[in-house]
Amino acid sequence: MARKAKSQKTQKQVGDGGSNGADAYLKLIDIGIALSAERNHDRLMEMILLEAKSLCNADGGTLYLRTAEDTLKFEIMRNDSLDIAMGGTTGKEIEFPPLAMYDAKSGEPNHKNVATHVALTGQPVNVHDAYRTTRFDFSGTKKFDKGTGFRSKSFFTAPMKNHEGDVIGVLQLLNAQEPETGKVVAFSRKLEPLVEALTSQAAVALDNQNLIDAQRALLDAFIELIASAIDAKSPYTGGHCQRVPELTKMLVRAACDSGDDLFADFDLTEDEWYELHIASWLHDCGKVTTPEYVVDKATKLETIYDRIHEIRTRFEVLKRDAEIEYLKARLDGKGKPAKLKKDLDKRLAQLDDDFQFIAECNMGGEFMADDRVERVKRIAAMKWQRTLDDRIGLSHDELERLERTPRKKLPVTENLLADKEEHVIERQPRDTFGDDNEFGFKLNVPDDKYNLGEVYNLCIGRGTLTAEERFKINDHMVQTIVMLEQLPFPKHLKRVPEYAGGHHETMIGTGYPRRLTKADMSIPARAMAIADIFEALTAADRPYKKAKTLSESVRIMSFMNKDEHIDPDLFALFLKAGVFTEYAERFLLPEQIDEVDIDQYLGAGG
């Protein structure tokens, strides 16, 4: 309170040009400290203008910012006598057009307007009476006065220069007043250095903020670029990386606004919201390391291409061999022609049926029962003859794998389908995390990085992925955490890795990659897990599945809730606060949105 009283006394003394310079400079120091601490753009602009008004006891003022088009944009306007407050935190837009610093046709500098003149010259201007000067054109001011009954008299206009000496804005004060009488007087020459010092401090603060904002904008754009690239990399992810942040923030906002005791102590600051923003956009950044042929593996034999084509060719070879054997037997007179033809037709039909079966197994759409696995192995044991060298025209890596086994003399009789030594791609030390790894990963790592064996892949129990490939897809979480932990996040962004790295964990320690429990995870991390799952269920841009309706998705989420895979408190809030319907209205197709009875999922206490 003592400091406040002192500031009021200082204001009075400064306003009338008093001799207490120490108080004035003390106030200037206080203003400088406040300016450097303010991070909100609108509040900073207001602080600059209001402190300058206070320093000079001015009735009004305007703050302009220079644009890239060399105009002065009205940023803040104040006039106490007319009760005008526009721009900044008021929410009232200033509708006046920007002031042009150069003539649009001739390109000549605009020195007629005092504000543009100051911006062009970088020199302050003190006008004692706008109605008595011929140096500048105040016709617009006079027109304003005529319409309002106001009398604009004294103007002090000062440039705002950054550390490089560039004018980035203009501060204009209107009608200095005597503190005791309120009489409008000219701005004191003694105050000019103080105002110039203030505008200099303000320009540095504004320039720093612009730099921070530019860096943030660049970071945001880069992060969104990564997320968009991941989504564009595979049609199987679609707009996932762009929608999960929106849903995450919806649910976290609901937690902040909730009156439930469970979330009574939970809220986020402006910095923490930005931290969550970055984390949600980067939650799948590790997918940049996942090979497309694994993410997009649509059939069991698919790698960079579908190897069913190789197997089809081998079946074609067997069919040609059967025909050749038939023709040779006819030429050599071995057997009755009708019997030979019948045997040939039977053999060809059997090969067609076997290939049809292998092709069906390749699709991965049916559970591989034991009898189907046995049939794959019986077909695999059929023989065919290779007469061409399989070690020429290969990449260095593939040739290295082939050379694990001795070269066989041609021609070679081989199994029709095989799990060969060269099909195994070994895991390198860099691909392994020990039990004591620095990231706290708890992983069941397959012995091999990949196994491309034909029989091995065709006998996959469900879907199209081997255990090795499924691990590689899950590995995107490992890579996300490793990548984010290596970034030098500042203090206010330290939790980005924690928020982004937990959306595949469960509440009971059965998730990955750290086997965390609910107690190990923050509310934003748990919210992101729900957002990640719900987005995937409702996504309409996945080529491998039909988009689920709202009710189907909520029902599936309820099963996951019962299994403690997601946070029950946040899931209840997700339903009660209507987050799922808000998201649906923004991102789901109209035909996906149906009625959901949330009471059946909330229980008696819901």
Per-residue pLDDT tens digits for 510-520: 999 999 999 99
Average of pLDDT values for 508-530?
Answer: 96
The alpha carbon torsion through 173, 178, 182, 185 (nearest 10 deg) reads -60
Q: Please tell me the predicted confidence (pLDDT) of residue 8.
A: 40
31 in Cβ contact with 51 (< 8 Å): yes
Q: What is the DSSP letter of 196?
A: H
393-401 own/partner pairs: CB under 8 Å, 24+ apart = 398/422, 401/425
Whether 13 has a pLDDT exceeding 90, the answer reads no
User: Residues 372-378: what's their mean pLDDT?
Assistant: 97
In 3-state terms, what secondary structure has residue 175? Answer: strand
Predicted pLDDT of residue 235: 67
Tell me: domain 2-212, CATH 1.20.1290.10, correct?
A: no
pLDDT above 50: residue 2: no
What per-residue confidence (pLDDT) applies to 194?
A: 82
Mean pLDDT of 238-267: 93
Q: What is the mean pLDDT of the chain?
A: 89
Region 415-439: mean pLDDT is 90
Q: In this structure, are residues 114 and 106 in contact, taking their beta carbons and an 8 Å threshold?
A: no
**Per residue in 123-136, pLDDT tens?**
999 999 999 999 99
pLDDT band, very low/low/confident/very high, at 54 (cuts 50, 70, 90): confident
| CB distance 141 to 113 below 8 Å | no
Per-residue pLDDT, 113: 95
The pLDDT value given to residue 236: 67
pLDDT above 80: residue 9: no
Mean pLDDT of 554-570: 96
Q: What is the mean pLDDT of residues 195-215?
A: 81
Burial of 343 (0-12, 13-18, 19+ CB in 10 A): middle
Q: Is the dihedral of CA 360, 361, 366, 372 positive or negative?
A: positive
Residue 343's SS3 state is: helix
C-alpha to C-alpha distances, 88 to 38, 44, 64, 217, 384, nearest whole angstrom: 14, 9, 12, 20, 80
Half-sphere exposure for 165 (CA within 13 Å, toward CB): 2
**Structure tokens that stand for 125 in this block:** 């201007």
Judge whether residue 165 has pLDDT over 90: no
What does the domain layout of the chain look like in residue ranges? 2-212, 235-288+470-602, 308-431
Alpha helices in 105-138 (DSSP H): 114-121
Report the pLDDT averaged over residues 286-297: 88
Q: How confident is the model at residue 22 (pLDDT cuts 50, 70, 90)?
A: low
Domains 2-212 and 235-288+470-602 share a fold: no
Strand boundaries in 452-570, DSSP class E? none
Confidence class for position 200, pLDDT limits 50, 70, 90: confident
- φ and ψ at 53, to 5 degrees? -60, -45
pLDDT tier, 4 (very low <50, low <70, confident <90, very high otherwise): very low
Give the mean model confidence (pLDDT) for residues 170-192: 92
- The CA–CA distances, whole Å, from 207 to 64, 116, 169, 193 equal 14, 20, 10, 21
CA distances from 302 to 117, 362, 448 (A): 70, 9, 18
**Lowest model confidence (mean pLDDT) among 141-155, 161-175, 194-208:** 194-208
Percent of the chain with pLDDT over 90: 70
> How many CA atoms are closer than 13 Å to the CA of 86, on its beta-carbon side?
16
The alpha-carbon radius of gyration of the chain (Å, integer) is 37
For residue 44, pLDDT beyond 80:
no
Helices 192-233 and 270-281 cross at an angle (nearest 10°) of: 30
Architecture of domain 235-288+470-602: Orthogonal Bundle (1.10)
Amino acid at the residue 286: G
Question: How much of the chain is helix, strand and coil, in % rounded to 5?
Answer: 55, 10, 35
- pLDDT-derived band at 521 (thresholds 50, 70, 90) equals very high
DSSP label of 508: B
pLDDT (0 to 100) of residue 55: 83
Across the range 450-467, mean pLDDT stands at 95
